[in-house]
Amino acid sequence: MEQKKKKGLRIRSCLTGAIWLALVFSTVISALLFVFLNHFFNLPGSIPVLGWLLIFNTLIAGLITSFINAKLLEPIARLSKAMKEVSQGDFEQHLETNSRIAEVGESYQSFNVMTKELRATEVLQMDFVSNVSHEFKTPINAIEGYTMLLQGEELSPDQEEYVEKILFNTQRLSGLVGNILLLSKLENQNIPMKKTEYRLDEQIRQAFLSLETKWTEKEIGFQVELEEVKYTGNEGLFMHIWINLLDNAIKFSPSKGTITMFLKQEQDSVKFILEDEGPGIEGDVKSRIFDKFYQVDGSHKAEGNGLGLALVKRIVDSAGGTIKAENREYGGCRFVIELPMQKDEII
C-alpha cells in the first residue's frame, strides 16, 4: 500500500520537477543572454528586466503545475481510488463523466459501465442463491425433524452413529441456508428495524454460553472483561455477530488455548475486542476475510461455509460501525469492532 502511494507521489513530483527544471533552465539561458548583451552592448535596464523575467517564469511554472494537477493527475487519482473500492467489493462507485479531457471522460464512462455490470451480476448471483436456499429450507427442516424423531427409537450403535451424522450435517446445511437468507435480506435492506435497549455485555455472555459444548471439547480457557453497556439496536440480529466471531475463534484456537474478550464503552461508541491464539491471518487473506463464501482453508476440510464473517461485516456496517481483523504481536488473531452509541445511527 505504502509502495503504491510512494510511486504516485514520485510520478507527480517528477512531472512537477520537470516543469520547474525546464523553466529554470530557460531562465538561466535568458539571464546569460542578458548578461552577454549587457557586457558587449551595455544595454540600460537589463537587470530589472531580468528580475521580472524570473518572476514571470515562476508564475508560469505555478500555473502549468496547477493545470496538470487539476486536469490530469487528480482525475487519475479519483479513478485509482474508485478502482480500489471496487476491488474491495464496493460496486456502488460512480464517476462523473463531465471532464473536458476526452480520454478522462471515456475512462470514467468505461469504469461506470463496468461497475453497473458488476452490480447486476452480484444481484443475479444473490437472487439465484437466495431462491435456491428458499427451496432447500423446507426439505432440510423435514429431514432434521424426522432424524430427531429417530433418535428416540431403540437403535443399534451403528444406526445411532448414522442418525447423529445425518442430524449434524442437516443442521450444518440448515445453518448455511439460514445465513444465506439473512445475508440476502441484509444486502437488500429487507430487515425490520426493530430497536430495543438491552445489555450488550449480557448478550455476549449468552453467545459464549451457547457455544459451551465446542469450547469445553477443546479445553479452551477464557479471559473475559465485559463492561456493563446498555445498547439500543436490533437484538436478534446482533446475536449473530457474537456467535459467529466466537465460533470462528474456537474453530481456529489450539486445544487448551485461551480466548480473550473485552468490551468497553467509550465517549460516543462501544468497543469489542476478541483475541485468540490460532495461526493468525496471512497477508493475502486479510483483504478477503470478510468476502462471502471465502474460507481460509481452501480445502474446505474445516467446519464452516465462509459466510459467518461476511454476515458479521454486513451487520456491523448496517449499524454504522467498523470491524477490522489483525494479527496479534505475540501470535493469534484479533477482531476489533467499534459501534456508535447514537441511537439514530443504529439499526
**How do residues 307-338 score in pLDDT, each as one tens digit?**
788 889 988 988 889 999 999 888 889 999 99
Dist CA 34 CA 264 (whole Å): 73
* Residue 37 pLDDT: 58
* Residue 231 pLDDT: 92
Angle between helix axes 157-187 and 102-150 (nearest 10 degrees) is: 150
Q: Looking at 71-75, 261-265, 266-270, which range is the least confident one?
A: 71-75
Residue 116 in this model has a pLDDT that exceeds 80: yes
Dist CA 172 CA 143 (whole Å): 12
* Residue 66 pLDDT: 67
**Candidate CATH numbers 1.10.3720.10, 3.10.20.740, 3.30.565.10, 3.40.50.10490; the one for domain 196-345:** 3.30.565.10
186-195 average pLDDT score: 67
Q: Please state, in angstroms and as integers, the Cα–Cα distance from residue 190 to each residue in 180, 184, 290, 328, following that order.
A: 13, 8, 21, 37
Q: What is the pLDDT of residues 274-306, one digit of tens each?
A: 999 988 887 767 777 887 766 665 444 455 556
**Candidate CATH numbers 1.10.287.130, 1.10.260.40, 1.10.3720.10, 3.90.1660.10; the one for domain 124-187:** 1.10.287.130
Cβ contacts of 328 within 8 Å, gap of 6 or more: 275, 280, 334
Higher-confidence position of 98 and 302: 98
* Residue 104 pLDDT: 74
Determine what percent of the chain is predicted with pLDDT higher than 70.
67
114-128 average pLDDT score: 77
Domain ranges of the chain: 2-87, 124-187, 196-345
Q: Please state, in angstroms and as integers, the Cα–Cα distance from residue 31 to each residue in 26, 64, 308, following that order.
A: 9, 22, 71
Residue 235 in this model has a pLDDT that exceeds 60: yes
* Residue 59 pLDDT: 67
At 47, give phi and psi (nearest 5°).
Answer: -65, -50
